[in-house]
With several copies, the nearest count.
Chain A
Amino acid sequence: MSVTRAVNSGLSDINTVHEITMVEAVTLALRRAMTEDPTVVVLGEDVATNGGVFRATENLKTEFGFKRVLDTPLAESMIAGISIGMATHGMRPVAEIQFMGFIFAAMEQIVCHAARMRNRTRGRLHCPLVIRAPFGGGIGAPEHHSESTEALFAHIPGLRVVIPSSPVRAYGLLLSAIRNPDPVLFLEPKRIYRIVRQRVVDSGKGLPLDTCFTLRQGDDITLISWGAMMHETLQAATQLQQRGVNADVIDVATISPLDMTTIVRSVRHTGRCVIVQEAARSGGIASEISARVAEEAMPWLQSPVQRVTGFDTPMPYPRHEHYYLPTAADIVRACERTLGVI
C-alpha cells in the first residue's frame, strides 16, 4: 500500500500551529464581515450583551453597537422571519439559533420562505441570510442540546448547509456564507469549538462553498465525514496509517449542495469508502452520499460502502451519550470490514 501524503495547504490540516479556537474563528469572521459590510447585522437570543452562550458573538456589541448586534425576544420563528424580511430589504442578517435543537420552531420560515424567495419571485427578490447554530453531541448538555439534524435541512431545495470542522474552515466558510446572496444554514459543531487551536490569518479570504476539502490523501480507502466527526475520522486515519493503510480523508463541508465530483473521484481511485456521521442512521447525509457513490462508482467499488453513524434514537441524556457517539474505533472497524480484514 502507498504512503499517505499529509496535505499541507494550511487550510486543511486540523493539527497546525495552535492559535485560535473554532469559536474564536467564528467571531473573527463575524467581525470581519461586519467591518467590511455595514449591512451585516447579527441577531438572536443573548447574542449582544452576553456575547452568545458560547461567546461566538463576544464583544461585537461593544464594537458595532446595539443597532448591529440585536438581542431579540425569545422566538425562533420570529428570528428567522425578521431575518427574511431584513434580507429582502438590503440587509445581511446573521441570525443565531442558540442550539440547533431549537431551530424547529423556525422550520416553516426556513422551508417556506428563506429557501424560496428567489425562486418564487423569479429572481426579483433574494434572501442573503445566514442562520448559525451550534449542533452535535459530546459536551454533556441537557436534552435537545446535542442532536445532529443537518439532514433535515439538506433536503430543503434552495437552502445551503455548511459545516466547518476547523478554525480555518470556520473562518473562511462563514465569510463566504455571509457574502453569499442566498440563504445559508451554518452549523457549528460545538464539541470542537475549543478542542483545537489553529493559526487563522484574518485575511478576509473566504473558502469555497459547495466544495469538499481533502484533508489527507491516500490510495487505499476513502473516509468521508463532516463537522465534529472529522476529528474521529482523522484519528482513525492515523491508526490505519500505522497499519499501512492510507486513507483519503474528505471533509464534505457543504452538505447541500453536495460536491460529489470530489467524492466520486476519490472512491473511484481507492475503491473503498466509509462514511461517518454523528446523526441518526436512517435518512442521514451518509445515506445520500452512500447512494450516490454506489450509483456513480459501483464498478470501481471493491466492497460495499460502509456507514458509521449514530442510532435511530434521539441523543441520550448526557450520562449515556457516549453510548451513542461513533468513535475512532468504530470507524477503524468499519474500515476493516471494507478492507475485508475482518
Chain B
Amino acid sequence: MTQLKKQVASTLPANISLDWLRSAYSHMVLIRAFDKKVVALQRTGQMRTYPSCLGQEAIGVGIGLALQDNDVFVPYYRDQATLFLRGVSLTQIMQVWGGDERGHLFEGAARRDLPLCIPIATQMTHAAGVAIALKSRAEHQACLVTCGDGATSKGDFSEALNLAGLWQLPMVCVINNNQWAISVPLHKQTACQTLAQKAVAAGMEGVQIDGNDVAEVYQAVDRALTKARQGKGPTLIEAVSYRLSDHTTADDATRYRDLEQVNNAWEREPVKRLQSLLHAHQGWSPEQENALLESVRKQVDDAVTAYLSIPPQPADEFLKYQFAEMTTPLALQISWQHERFPEHETSDSNGVQKS
C-alpha cells in the first residue's frame, strides 16, 4: 500500500501526455461547471436533492477515461463525471436528480451500466455479480464499482470483496474516500489506518492513491482494469480526496465541520491543481481556458434547457414497469389512474402519451 502523497507534484506523470492532461482537464472543468449549475437549479426549486461532486472530479474523470466501452460501470450516487464519460448525457443526469426514472435510460457505453445506487454499499455485490457474468462468458471485460468511505463499514462491502478475492473476479472497486459520510468523519467510521488495507481481509490487492491527481487515478484504475481483464483478479483502490461541498443540497456541512479544514482541502483541489500543472508546462493558455469555459457554459446551458423542457410522464406510466407483462392488479390500478387524472395526464392504452 502506498501512502497518500501530501504534496502536489509539479513534474509530469510518466507515460501521460500533455494532450491527455488537457483532455482530462476539460472534462473536469465541464463537470465542475455542471455541478455548480445543478446546485443552483436546486436552490431555485428546479432540481431535487442533489449530491454535489465538487472536489471529486479527478476521481470521476480518471475512472471514466480508464474504462473501456465494453467494461461495465456500477456507480454509486456521486459519479456524475464517470457517467458523463460513459455516454450518459448531462440532461439525463439532471433528470435522475430531478426525480424522474427516465434519466436511467442511459445511452452510449452506459447502456449496460447499472443505475445510480442509493442504498449504501449494496452495489458492491451487484458488481461482483456482473463480474461473474463477464467472466462466465470469457469476454475479457471488467466491472468497475465505486463507493464512498462510509460504505466500507457496511457488510456488503466485505461480502463482495471476499467473494471477488475468492473467485478472482474481474472487478475493480474504487473507494471515493472524500473523508466524510454526511457528518461522520473517517476517523469515526473505522480504526483501520487506510481503507485500502481492508483488502487484506479479502485476500486481494489494495492500493491507496491520491484521488485529487487525475493522472494517478487514471493510471491506477487502468492498471487494475487491465489486470482484471486479463483474469488476474480484483483490486481495491482507495482514492483519497475531500468532499468540498455539503453532503447533498439537503445538508449543511457547517454544522459539523471546520471551515479551516475545508479551506485547507481547497488548497489541494483537483481542478486548480491540474490547471497549475498544465500552466507549469506551458500546456494551457488563457485563450484555451476561455474557449473551454465558453464551450462548457454552452454545453451546460443546452443540457439545462433540454432538462427543463422534458414533459412529465403520464400519470399511469409508473405502473407499467413492474413486470414484463401487465398483471391483473396493475391493469386495474392503471384504470384507477384514468379516473383520478384528467385524460391529458394519462397515456392511451398503448402507453403513448396523448398530449
Chain A interface (Cβ < 8 Å from any Cβ of B) = 41, 45-46, 49-51, 53, 67, 71-78, 80-91, 93, 101-102, 104-105, 108-109, 112-113, 117-126, 140-145, 157-158, 160, 180-182, 210, 257-261, 281-282, 311-313, 316-321, 323-324, 330
Contacts and interface: CB of A to CB of B under 8 A. Distances in A.
Interface of B: 48-49, 72, 74, 77, 96-102, 104-106, 111-112, 114-115, 118-122, 124-134, 136-137, 143, 150-151, 153-156, 159-160, 162-163, 166, 181-184, 188-190, 250-251, 255-256, 312-313, 315-319, 321-324, 327-330, 333, 337, 340-341
Contacts of A145: 118
B250 A140 contact: no
A164 B308 CA distance: 38
A79 to B, nearest CB: 8
B81 to A, nearest CB: 19
Contacts of B321: 118-119, 122-123
B99 A319 contact: yes
A312 B329 contact: yes
A258 B329 contact: yes
Given A81-B122, A319-B99, A282 B136 contact: no
Contacts of A104: 119
22 contacts: A71-B183, A77-B156, A78-B125, A78-B153, A78-B162, A78-B163, A84-B125, A85-B114, A86-B132, A88-B114, A108-B122, A112-B119, A125-B115, A141-B48, A181-B324, A311-B318, A312-B330, A317-B96, A317-B99, A319-B100, A320-B99, A320-B313
A75 B126 contact: no
A227 B128 CA distance: 34
Contact of B132 (A76, A85, A113): A85
A121 B112 contact: no
Nearest to B339: A333
A324 B318 contact: yes
Residue with the highest number of chain A CB atoms closer than 10 Å, among B48, B317, B321: B321
Given A71-B188, A72-B163, A74-B181, A85 B128 contact: yes
A80 B313 CA distance: 31
Contact of B125 (A85, A88, A90, A323): A85
Nearest to A319: B99
A88 B130 contact: yes
Contacts of B312: 319-320
A51 B137 CA distance: 25
